[in-house]
């Protein structure tokens, strides 16, 4: 599996989790993207996601790097 394939798999996983939360998420496509996923909100603004995927095991800590957003239905 290439680095590109791992990144796409991670983006599709995050997208599927957002759909399970009833969000209207969209995936952006291309090789030089600044944003991977965006979700328009009822207030007119958008939430954007930059997804990173890792192949194999790692000891890289993510607990200090993640942000949680409240998803409203």
DSSP string across 10-44 = HHHHHHHHHHHTT---EE--SSS-S-SEEEE-TTS
Helix (H, G, I), strand (E, B) or coil at 4: helix
Residue with the bigger pLDDT between 35 and 62: it is 35
Residue range 10-21, pLDDT digits in tens: 889 999 999 999
Question: What do you get for the CA distance between the two ends of the chain, in Å?
Answer: 36
Question: How sure is the predictor about 33, in pLDDT bands with cuts at 50, 70 and 90?
Answer: confident
Q: Is the pLDDT of residue 26 over 60?
A: yes
Spell out the domain ranges in the chain.
Answer: 1-73
Q: What values do phi and psi take at 38, rounded to 5?
A: -130, 150
Helix (H, G, I), strand (E, B) or coil at 68: coil
pTM of the model: 0.68
């Amino acid at each position: 599996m290439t680095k590109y394939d791992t990144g796409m798999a991670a983006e599709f996983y995050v997208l599927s989790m957002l759909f399970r939360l009833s969000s209207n998420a969209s995936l952006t496509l291309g090789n030089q993207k600044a944003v991977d996923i965006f979700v328009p909100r009822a207030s007119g603004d958008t939430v954007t996601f930059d997804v990173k995927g890792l192949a194999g095991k790692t000891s890289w800590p993510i607990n200090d790097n993640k942000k949680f957003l409240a998803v409203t239905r």
